[in-house]
Amino acid sequence: MKLLKFLFLALMVIQLVIVKADGQNREIHFEKTNWSKIKKKAAKEDKLIFMDCYTSWCGPCKMMSRDVFTLDTVADFFNEKFVNCKFDMESGEGIELKKQLPIGAYPTFFLLDSEGNVVHIVVGAHSGNDFISFFKEGISENENYTALGARYEAGERGGDFMFKYLRSLRIANEDKKEEQIANNYLANLKNDDLKDGSMWSIIKYFMKDPLSGKFKYFVENRDYFVELKGAEAVDTKIYGVYRDALKSLEYYFPGNGKVYNNKLEDGMIADLMKYDFNRATELLALVKLNKYLKRNDWVNYASVVDGIVTLNVLRVNPEMPSIISQAVGNLAKGTKRASILARLPVWSQFAIDKEQNIGKKALLMESHSNILKDIGDDVKALEAKEAAEKANLEAEKQGKKIIVMPAFKMAPMQPKKK
């Protein structure tokens, strides 16, 4: 029995050792000294400096420290290749370092030479594999952030190079510079240059202006690009450019000298009326919906809603029920026209019928009840409220109940129209 007990305990020890060996037990070693000594060590060892710029309140910073810097693969790579350091940018030496470095968000990670010059920049939280990949690019003499910038300034403009350069700007969170350089680059191309295979990555990730000549050429030559990359990829790109531009109009809030982009709005409407690509009608409806909402033009707003419902224009848009319900709510609050108010329950019910998610359906039913109450139909409002309560119970039972958080209100551009 003693021998059996001994063997059992020995086996447990062996298993624990195996588990320990297979687990993640290494982490990035960060120097615990001042910036001057870190630079001297980097010079002596002929290594670049990896710097983690963080703050005490930054959630993604803490996630990187806890979940990524403690991965064996990450630790081994960074400990071998770099002299590693980290500074809180709001205390100690970090306060002065922040003045010397291009930091616009946290966390920001730098590769610096032994004199403190920027070699590479990565912003934000990333997976371990991506983080290693980004910093492998950082130690490449020709493809790190600074090297790519120098090549651009020297006049290099090939499609493959431009994708790498623009990508480096995005990883460095330099959105405005990325947009400016991408727009200038595309504007200086000949239209047929877009048909070169190396240009697809530029089109896919960096073509964003729906009013630019190159984007219009892309849309007008949709069939060619579909043959090249497939309908799904091309139509997703076209829809995404318009939808992102529309969001900039939807999220417009007056004040601080901001001016509503009427040129963008009018240009999109004009183009969408003449184009016949997949979902063009849906986009046109959404742009017009936003246009009339911003101007409190409830007659035309209601006309667009009616068209959306009658023709089922948003049938492939997963957000269609909530878009219609929100529009109905806007009309209920914005106008007193009897002819419009009479249509609201019909449109609201349409949204409910189209929603498949029980949690979302319950919310729509609650809104439907409020609409009926607002227009004075108390009997149907009570029936709708009871139906909404039942739906909420079912949603809770299925684990799909949605808790609504209040949102701030957006101011209109013009006084209300009756």
Q: Count of CB atoms within 10 A of residue 408's CB?
A: 5
Predicted local confidence at residue 198, as pLDDT: 86
Cα–Cα distance, 241 to 211 (Å, whole number): 10
Q: Count of CB atoms within 10 A of residue 34's CB?
A: 12
Cα–Cα distance, 235 to 237 (Å, whole number): 5
Split the chain (418 residues) into runs of 10 and give each run's mean pLDDT.
44 43 78 97 98 97 97 97 98 96 97 98 97 97 97 96 97 96 96 92 96 97 95 96 96 86 97 93 97 96 97 94 95 94 95 93 92 90 92 89 59 49
Tokens (6 digits) for 254: 């007056």
Dihedral sign, Cα of residue 387, residue 391, residue 397, residue 402: negative
Cα–Cα distance, 370 to 364 (Å, whole number): 10
What is 35-139's CATH topology? Answer: Glutaredoxin (3.40.30)
Predicted local confidence at residue 413, as pLDDT: 46
- Spatial strand order of the sheet with 108-112 comes to 82-88, 48-54, 108-112, 118-123
Would you list the domain boundaries of the chain?
35-139, 208-294, 299-418
Predicted local confidence at residue 404, as pLDDT: 63
Cα–Cα distance, 249 to 290 (Å, whole number): 8
Cα–Cα distance, 181 to 158 (Å, whole number): 14
Predicted local confidence at residue 10, as pLDDT: 46
Rounded to 5°, angle at Cα 319 from 313 and 321: 70
Q: Cβ-count burial of 166 within 10 angstroms (0-12 exposed, 13-18 middle, 19+ buried)?
A: buried
Do residues 296 and 416 lie in contact, with contact meaning Cβ atoms separated by under 8 Å? yes
Tokens (6 digits) for 93: 């030496």
Predicted local confidence at residue 253, as pLDDT: 85
Predicted local confidence at residue 24, as pLDDT: 67
Q: Which helix (H) or strand (E) holds 138?
A: helix 128-138
258 has which bridge partners?
Answer: 255
Instruction: Give the pairing type, strands 82-88 and 48-54.
Output: parallel
